[in-house]
Structure 1
Amino acid sequence: MNRENYNDLQAFLLVAQERSFTRAAARLGVSQSALSHTMRQLESRLGVRLLTRTTRSVSPTEAGERLLQALAPNFENIHAALLGLGEFRDTPSGTIRITTSEHAARRVLWPVLRTFLAKYPEVRVEVISDSTLTDIVAERFDAGIRLGEQVAQDMIATPIGPPTRLVVVGTPDYLRARPAIATPRDLVAHDCINLRFLTHGGLYAWEFEKDGHALNVRVEGRLVFNSIDRILDAALAGFGLGYLPEDMVAPHIARGALRQVLDDWCPLFPGYHLYYPSRRQPSQAFALLVEALRWRGP
């Protein structure tokens, strides 16, 4: 194949990985129709169909999957080699892609980025906030930010925030009108605002611990969200109890808008960590960001 067709192979790689012409075209900065035309030309030159197209999705054929498995590691090596050239620059540069929860982005990431980006003007950072536990390798993120207990064992993880905990809160009016809460089991008599994980579709079981005894409670209620910001809004509006990060609700507790219950059942657990694959060779810009984010205690 002629050298000028390597761009077509990279385009195929993105379509096959994204399973979408729309997302792949956005990443390449071309129109969807132009990308589709490129794929048809590539298939014509190779004499084999690489992609199965439907009105809703696109996926590699058997031949396409074989080509995908051959191409992916080689393009990753090329990308890593190009990033490595940044070590020879006087000024750190490049793009860093991070997946994180909205709470972590607001509380720990953005305060650091404001200073970091001002110091390193040639570094670009793309932050994708969602509630899913994203596969950072498959989705080609440089790093992820999640609570320490959620980080896979095969990742390098750096603490970037203090230990934290979730607490149960409700409005004074709601709590006065409902049965008293002495233990987590009393929550079954209450409207609890659930959190749904988009990764696997399940509802989060509220986790408690006291005197070494752990207890997970599957709570019930009329509202389910995939965002803790929406859960806070609903709790403040009196629609039930929320189980939320302590630092998030502290201002509302201080002004009397929320009251906390089951305090002695809410344990501390590892705070937010930045994590990335152990086989990843960090670029200069990425290594500097890791150091800037690293939690060094109070």
Structure 2
Amino acid sequence: MRAEIAHFLNNRLDWNLLRTYLVIVQERSISRAAARLHVTQPAVSQALKRLEDTLGRKLIERRGAQFDPTQAGTEVYRIASDIYSNISRLETELDARAQDITGSIRLLSVSRIESPAYDAFLAGFHRAHARIDLHIEVMRSSDIISSLLQKTATAGLGLCRNPVEKLETRIFLRQRYAIFCGPHHRLFGQTQLTMSDLLTENFVSFTSDQIGDSLSPLTVFRDQKGFTGRIVAASPSLDEVRRLIYAGYGIGCLPEHIVCDDLAQQRLWRLPPEDGLVDVDVNLLWHRERKMSTAEQTFLESFERVMQRYSMAQRLGLEPLETRDGIIAA
């Protein structure tokens, strides 16, 4: 199989087909791949069929909602990932002797990174390196880790409960999760509540809030405390979980520092326990064996300097940043 793929790449390379296939596997969906590539679903399906016909192999198995690459499909994905990684570095490698650093950064991120230090870092980095392009894609933590292991991105900002071989990990934000309800919920505005008052309440959950996934400590907490309410709504998006809690679907967990304004405007109400539930880390991640371009190395080094310079409280916005003209040096 590898020899056949190599023959295809050497003699009949169509990067558009390989690029489309990469996105199909990353998104695990024809429709999501089409949306990400800004093309129609039939165009994505046709590209997949052309690639399969050219290679003479079935690359994707679909059984209902399950969407998985075949053994041949996994091999094609691995090779296409390596090609994409090399192409993404090509411009910078050709411009290595230029005075100004040029290149492209592909950063993968979970939704709603709330950090004044992060915002100021991005502003400062662009000011110092205006010729470096930055592409940020929002996805689930599990997909971020998968993409980084395939060496298709510069770095990621996501949840990673356990060490992953070949990935470097730096804690960027340590978010304390607490329980909240919205103004349409019966507990809103009540004081003197205890944990026992919450045990039968229905929950709004993150889709990654399950045993073994990135937010499973929230599941463990509910099980340990004896919650009997059911999960009535869920989303992978923090903003959508927050919206559903506000709408009264149930109580739910959110990072404390992100909902300060909601509490002040009484869009949310803080519930026991007073000291919150658990700390969940948002990590800066990258593949230690991936060959980085000068632009990518500069980005990672600049990010690490920001983490060394500013405390966790400053990164979370709990203490003010001391910046020059409002800009953190990159």
TM-score above 0.5, yes or no: yes
Task: Give the stretch that moved more between structures: 88-97 or 62-71.
Answer: 62-71
- CA change 1:12–1:256 in 2 (3 A) is closer
Task: Give the stretch that moved more between structures: 261-270 or 232-241.
Answer: 261-270
Question: Is this contact kept in 1: 2:182–2:267, CA < 8 A?
Answer: yes
One of 151, 154, 158 as aligned partner of 1:146? 158
Question: Is this contact kept in 2: 1:169–1:241, CA < 8 A?
Answer: yes
Q: Normalised by the size of structure 1, how large is the TM-score?
A: 0.69
After superposition, the CA RMSD in angstroms is: 4.7
Name which one, 1 or 2, has greater alpha-carbon Rg. Answer: 1
Aligned partner of 2:124 in structure 1 is 115
Question: Is this contact kept in 1: 2:217–2:278, CA < 8 A?
Answer: no
How many residues matched? Answer: 286
One of 268, 271, 279 as aligned partner of 1:269? 279
Deviation of 1:145 after TM superposition, in Å, equals 0.5
Letter paired with 2:136: V
Aligned partner of 2:104 in structure 1 is 95
Aligned partner of 1:155 in structure 2 is 167
Deviation of 1:231 after TM superposition, in Å, equals 2.1
Aligned partner of 2:200 in structure 1 is 189
* Distance in 2 (alpha carbons) for counterparts of 1:223 and 1:28: 29
CA deviation digits over 1:55-114, x for unaligned, max 9? Answer: 999998877766666676577557657644554332122121122111127766444323
Note if 1:170 corresponds to 2:181: yes
Question: Is this contact kept in 1: 2:61–2:70, CA < 8 A?
Answer: no
Query: What are the ranges of 5 or more consecutive residues in structure 1 without an aligned counterpart?
Result: none
* Distance in 2 (alpha carbons) for counterparts of 1:52 and 1:160: 37
Q: Normalised by the size of structure 2, how large is the TM-score?
A: 0.64
Task: Give the stretch that moved more between structures: 83-92 or 63-72.
Answer: 63-72
Question: Is this contact kept in 2: 1:193–1:240, CA < 8 A?
Answer: yes
Task: Give the stretch that moved more between structures: 51-60 or 283-292.
Answer: 51-60
Note if 1:255 corresponds to 2:260: no
Question: Is this contact kept in 2: 1:19–1:59, CA < 8 A?
Answer: no
Note if 1:104 corresponds to 2:113: yes
* Distance in 2 (alpha carbons) for counterparts of 1:127 and 1:187: 38
Task: Give the stretch that moved more between structures: 136-145 or 101-110.
Answer: 101-110
Question: Is this contact kept in 1: 2:208–2:236, CA < 8 A?
Answer: yes
- Counting only pairs closer than 5 Å after superposition, residues 276-291 of structure 1 correspond to structure 2 as 276-291=286-301
SS at match of 1:160: strand
Letter paired with 2:104: T
SS at match of 1:251: helix
Deviation of 1:255 after TM superposition, in Å, equals 3.4
Question: Is this contact kept in 2: 1:93–1:285, CA < 8 A?
Answer: yes
One of 205, 225, 229 as aligned partner of 2:239? 229
Question: Is this contact kept in 2: 1:196–1:226, CA < 8 A?
Answer: yes
Deviation of 1:197 after TM superposition, in Å, equals 2.9
- CA change 1:75–1:167 in 2 (3 A) is closer
SS at match of 2:100: coil
Task: Give the stretch that moved more between structures: 51-60 or 71-80.
Answer: 51-60
SS at match of 1:104: coil
Deviation of 1:246 after TM superposition, in Å, equals 0.6
Question: Is this contact kept in 1: 2:202–2:230, CA < 8 A?
Answer: yes
Query: What are the ranges of 5 or more consecutive residues in structure 2 without an aligned counterpart?
Result: 1-6, 315-330
